[in-house]
Structure 1
Amino acid sequence: MIESDSSPEPDGTADIPDTDATDTEQAPDEERRHPALLATAIALPVALLIGIVVAAVLIDRKPVLGPLALGPVPAPNAESAECADLLTALPEKLGDYTRAELVEPVPAGTAAWQIDEAEPVVLRCGLDRPGEFDAAAALQVVDGVQWFEVSGAAEGIAASTWFAVDRPVYVALTVPNGSGPSPLQEVSAALTEALPQQQIDPAPVSGN
């Protein structure tokens, strides 16, 4: 059951268009939203504007699902015991998404799930506190876990990154628009099983 403090759950209204990367006649906006380009955008400096980089870079996109390559991001606690416990507790499926094989070298503290013709769901454990997570931030409670959402809409990215902020380590889940509630619900269940809840630690509101 999802309870909301103030920010709405992703409703899937911004689906990723089905485009062909080989079509040189594409308009720039369409080309920007091709799945591989979208994933690269999440990985590169655009995400620095929201205080944290959460990469989900595809090595290739084919009709048949294959291994995924994830770009490295700063995650000082990725090799912690807490992240190891969480990775062990993660399910093989998140709704229709299936656990993906990752290309070596696999960044510590990461997992991903994939489905045909869509961007993957990517989890990263052990990140720094999100730059925009302050005492005024709106949180959403999903099955007992407090999440802080950073939407990619302003940068033209059809995905949101959700940060679990009430556990011993920060955990980020990048979810494409249109994925439904299952990814957040299933990962929340794994977090509840693997990691104890603790008081949130937001940054002070700017100017205070």
Structure 2
Amino acid sequence: MAAGTTSPARLATLIALPIAVIVGIASFWLLGGFRGTGSTRPRPQSTAPVAMSAPSLAPAQATACRGLVTRLPGALRDRPRRPVTAGTDQNAAYGDPPITLACGVPPASVPQTADVYVLSGVCWYPQPGNGGTVWTTADREPAVRVTVPASYSAPGQWVIEFSGPVAATLSRTATAPAGCQPPTPSSS
């Protein structure tokens, strides 16, 4: 062979090697190899029962809570409803880690200067606690508590999912904090 000419085998290798590397990188990428910790692939969620307590309720509270629990959705967005260990007529849980709802809890003691949020017609009082945010209705009887773990961003957006069933089922209290009062119609 003359100097400067390439054998057919060497030429085939020079062409095939870059193509093989490109195909390998593309395959790795398509199979999710570059996604790292920010992956959007859903992780398996637990379906085990969630430990919750079930204090005794007065008959009227028990009836109201049972009505609420029957109106709750089967899932919160992509978080399926999970069984609870106690109080199936007053408690519910969703997702992993679980977002929990307990009906018939003691009413929240809302300071006059506290922030309250009216979400779809229901007044909620949020407080940090239990590794997340605990939201308690401030204008309903019986009171409802929703606990949203810290791993969920925008906890109020999860709580609002419960406002419709709460508003449709539970009566408004006469002693709601000032920030919870519905707006009065203006006269023109």
TM-score by length of 1: 0.55
Residue aligning to 1:126: 104
Identical positions, percent: 26
Unaligned ranges ≥5, structure 2: 1-36, 38-42, 178-188
Distance 1:163 1:77 in 2: 19
Contact 1:110 1:124 in 2 (8 A): yes
Unaligned ranges ≥5, structure 1: 1-17, 19-61, 203-208
Contact 1:75 1:127 in 2 (8 A): no
Residue aligning to 2:21: none
Matching of residue 98 in structure 1 with residue 66 in structure 2: no
Residue aligning to 1:163: 136
Change (3 A) 1:198 1:82: same
TM-score by length of 2: 0.60
Residue aligning to 1:70: 51
Residue aligning to 1:144: 121
Amino acid at match of 2:117: Q
Match of 1:189 among 145, 164, 177: 164
Distance 2:64 2:56 in 1: 13
Amino acid at match of 1:160: T
Larger helix proportion, structure 1 or 2? 2
Q: Which structure would you say has the larger Rg?
A: 2
CA deviations 1:165-192 (Å, max 9, x no partner) are: 1112110000123244442111011111
RMSD: 2.8
SS in 1 for 2:101: strand
Match of 1:111 among 74, 77, 92: 92
Distance 1:128 1:92 in 2: 26
Distance 1:200 1:75 in 2: 24
Change (3 A) 1:80 1:185: same
